[in-house]
Amino acid sequence: MSTRVQELFDLAGHVALVTGGSRGLGLQVAEALGDAGAQLVLTSRKASDLQEACRYLAARNISASWIAGDAADPIQLTRIASEAMSLHGRVDVLVNNAGATWGAPAEEYPIEAWDKVMNLNLRSVFLLSQYVAGHSMIPRGQGRIIMVASIASSIGMMSGLEAVAYYASKGGLANLTRALAAEWGKHGITVNAVAPGWFPSKMSHGTIQAVGADAMAAQIPLRRLGGDDDLKGAALLFASRAGQHITGQVLAVDGGYTAVGR
């Protein structure tokens, strides 16, 4: 017999580790997984932000713990993953959301900026996925990995924003998604990415202010920026049994921005 659709989206008994989970898109994804029943482990650099996020989630009756650390540092990254495993014995769902950007013309782009963006947006994602897959998912023959990419993975410039390392890192993240999906499918692991368009966040704040929210929305077929609930459905699909036969995909959640030729 087939399974009732509500059961397919149920994450009760699952453990989800969310990087950059204390605010913005990471917290939105965490909230969706927690509402579906997952036990959350949030990580980001600042303990105060994590504590605030956990208080917010607790008010929604979502169980969440936190581990502070810099995901760009491989030593701290290993500690984060190890502590998450120690807390619950496993990680069922890994959400790689932490990221950074740096704006500058390509001909003037400083090497330290390139390394900062690449180390967090791409290298740390691979290292954490490698650790969690190797220590939890592959031995158990199942797992869900969700990348938070960007529509920058498929276009060369967004609204005049010069940020070459960001575009390169998100393009690499999209293909890392496909490569890991191809290798780890035999272990029962799905690897997919959500690619948000323009959402208000700390990272996008400067660009939205410079361009103007109304002018930016006018470039989007749905005529609005992303909102507080707009990543939840895609994230829950990829995290749950509802998406168990989907892997290696990059799903744009952008109001149709990438559907329009520019």
**Paired tokens of 262:** 């520019």
Beta carbons within 8 Å of 258's beta carbon, 6+ residues apart: 151, 154, 155, 197, 252
Closest by alpha carbon to 225, among 237, 238, 212, 216? Answer: 216
Show Cβ contacts of residue 4 under 8 Å, excluding neighbours closer than 6 positions: none
Q: For residue 102, what is the DSSP state?
A: -
Structure tokens at 73: 């540092």
Task: Round to whole Å and give the CA distance between 162 and 169.
Answer: 14
CA distance 43 to 22: 7
The active-site residue out of 56, 109, 131, 166 is: 166
Q: How far is CA 219 from CA 98, 140, 156, 225, 261, in A?
A: 27, 45, 16, 10, 11
Report CA-CA distances (Å) from 227 to 94, 108, 148, 231.
23, 34, 16, 8
Instruction: Give the three-state DSSP class for 111.
Output: helix
Q: Is 257 exposed, middle or buried (0-12, 13-18, 19+ CB in 10 A)?
A: buried
Is 131 catalytic? The answer is no
Active site residues: 166
